[in-house]
Amino acid sequence: MPIETKNGKLRVRVRQKSGSTPFYYWPLENREDAQRWLDVAKEDVKCNRKWPCPSEYGSTDTILTKAARTSSAAWTLRQAFDKKMELDWEGSPTEGNYIKNWKQVSEFFGANTLLADVTLDDVDAFVITMKRKGNSGGTINRKLSLLSSIWTTAHQRQKAPQRVSPWPRQQESEGRLQFWTTAEEQRIFQACNRLGFEDLRDYLLILLDTGIRRGEAAQLSLSNIASGQLDMNFGNTRTKRHTRSIPLTARALEVLRNAAKESTSKLFPRTTQYYNKRWTLVQHLAKVEGCMHVFRHTYASRLAQSGASLVHIQQLMGHKSVKATMIYAHLCTGALQNTVEHFMTSEFFNADSHLSG
């Protein structure tokens, strides 16, 4: 059972018995880590246990060994999160959501806990705790998704074992799709004017007429409206899924151009907390209930009710998967009717063909 060098990296070669096929674990960062793995292997073979030992460490595809837990190369949750943030999430429109979910995940598991030390029982306990705090299935799933993503990032770089399985995904209720009526929209903008919140009014109008996320609105600059439409292509966005172009209504274009005249950088430079505080007052005066994300739902709902297809709604909303767009499917009656009418007038359909002999 020697420690060998291959391609400049250390590895441990384990042979269960004379003549058997050797098992390799590599690459290892240093000789100290290699020695840890070697010690574990010797102990298992001495006790006539299969190496890695399934009875003690789980199945071979979810190996969680003593060496992995003590390796200096193993990552903590904080290290895995920082790497994932650096690679994919930093600068994205939903960066704030990842940070918010990370705070709760790290508070429960401990930011300095090794991923290799997180068990399925720990994940179950986290789910139970979140439920007791009143978190919905969907909210819990977002936190589990973050934990799964950072774990995968670490595993791909051989800094953690494959994550525990099966993952306890929670059932998500469909709930009621909330969107503003035209009467509610009118009361909201009237309340903004009465309170003198013109900046909030303009901010809400852009959310309503474009359907963009609040994180995306915070990044808008003059370059995003240079073409006369809203080009969602941020230079610091690490992924392509948020890149899209959104046609602008006349009032939305006017608001954005006016904002551009008053700013040399961001069109909506105020903080999230600033808008939240003012929105609380507007809700009370306008007698409406709901978060500002409802403006995004309203945009998509009105598209669906106006006859837009789910594919077009998905593109305009910037949904990565059409599954996210399916919550508006029941509103797409106009699109279905247009599809059938187009089919009935096409060359493939002849209403009287079955009557001719």
Pull the structure tokens for residue 307: 């006859």
Task: Give the span between the Cα atoms of 123 and 104, in whole angstroms.
Answer: 13
- What residue spans define the domains of the chain? 3-70, 77-156, 182-340
Pull the structure tokens for residue 244: 């899209």
Of 182-196, 270-284, 330-344, minimum mean pLDDT range:
330-344
Strands 23-28 and 3-6: unpaired
Task: Give the span between the Cα atoms of 146 and 109, in whole angstroms.
Answer: 13
DSSP class of residue 329 equals G
* Percent share of the chain, pLDDT over 90: 34
Q: Read off the pLDDT of residues 218-243 as tens digits, 9 standing for 90 and up.
A: 889 888 887 788 998 765 444 444 57
Task: Give the span between the Cα atoms of 163 and 149, in whole angstroms.
Answer: 10
Average pLDDT, rounded, for the chain: 79
Taking the complete model, does pTM exceed 0.85, yes or no? Answer: no
Maximum average pLDDT range among 45-59, 106-120, 181-195, 260-274: 181-195
265 compared with 188, residue with greater pLDDT = 188
Which pLDDT band, with edges at 50, 70 and 90, does 336 fall under?
Answer: low
Q: Look up the CATH number of domain 182-340.
A: 1.10.443.10
Over residues 298-317, the mean pLDDT reads: 91
Task: Give the span between the Cα atoms of 41 and 25, in whole angstroms.
Answer: 10
Over residues 153-164, the mean pLDDT reads: 83
Contacts of 225 (CB under 8 A, 6+ apart): 231, 248, 253, 256, 257, 260
- Residue 45: pLDDT above 90? no
Task: Give the span between the Cα atoms of 158 and 68, in whole angstroms.
Answer: 10
Cis ω on the peptide bond leading into residue 52 (within 30° of 0)? yes
Q: Read off the pLDDT of residues 162-215 as tens digits, 9 standing for 90 and up.
A: 776 667 777 766 556 789 999 999 999 999 999 999 999 999 999 999 999 998
Buried b (16+ CB within 10 A) or exposed e, 284-296: eebebebebebbb
Q: In what order do the strands lie in the sheet with 3-6?
A: 3-6, 9-14, 23-28
Amino acid at 145: S
Over residues 94-99, the mean pLDDT reads: 82
Residue 5's alpha-carbon distances to 13, 26, 28, 72, 310, in angstroms, are 10, 9, 10, 19, 55
Of 55-64, 131-140, 182-191, 279-288, minimum mean pLDDT range:
55-64
